[in-house]
Amino acid sequence: MAAVDLTTHPGHLARRLQQAHYLLWNAMVSEEITSPQFAVLNALVAEPGLDQRTAGERVGLDRSTIAEVISRLGRRGLVDKVRDPQDGRRFLLRPTEEGLRTHRKLTVRTARMNQVFLAPLSAAEQTMFFDLIRRVADAAEGLRNPAEPLVAQG
């Protein structure tokens, strides 16, 4: 009987946080467009003409996942996808008119949802919250890229 207290495990907390967010998103923002889909759409609004891989990089999705998300956004008529005439390997992505409208609408709702989500924290705590999570996530992502050999599997 040497069970562990999961509330001191950041991974477990991260998962629970994300689940909680997922539910709130569904209730307050959209049942059709998901949070990752909005993130991608947002990236394309900021930088129309991105290719898939770069768009994925902007929001933190790998090539397989971004392909699926784009395909769903395309099916809904929110983004256009055309082959790059300069480089036949790429597809250039941009929001459609409908995509822009949807983005505007969801931006408002998302802001409202974030307020509710973060309501338990004071303004100072919210700043802290962003800062801490960002630092941990950035550092962990940094462990990925460096040419340094990571821990050998024991």
List the one residue out of 59, 16, 20 whose CA is nearest residue 37: 59
Is the Cβ of residue 10 or residue 60 nearer to DNA in the bound state?
A: 60
List the structure tokens of 14: 């991260």
Q: Which of 28, 45, 51, 126 binds DNA (CB under 7 A)?
A: 51
C-alpha dist (Å) from residue 106 to 16, 67, 73, 89, 101: 23, 22, 14, 32, 9
Contact residues for a second copy (CB under 8 A)?
Answer: 1-4, 6-25, 27-28, 31, 35-36, 39, 42-43, 45-46, 59-60, 103-104, 107, 110, 114, 116-121, 125, 128-130, 132-141, 143-144, 150-151, 153
Minimum Å distance from CB 87 to a second copy? 25
Q: Does 53 bind DNA (CB under 7 A)?
A: yes
CB of 60 to DNA, least distance (A): 6
Question: How, if at all, do strands 79-83 and 50-51 pair?
Answer: unpaired
**Binding positions for DNA, 56-85, rule CB under 7 A:** 60-65, 67-72
Distance CA 85, CA 100 (A): 24
Q: Which two tokens stand for residue 104?
A: 């505007």
How many of the chain's residues bind DNA (CB under 7 A)? 28
> How buried is 46 (Cβ within 10 angstroms: 0-12 exposed, 13-18 middle, 19+ buried)?
exposed
Residues near DNA (CB under 7 A) are: 15, 19, 22-23, 34, 36-37, 51-54, 60-65, 67-72, 87-91
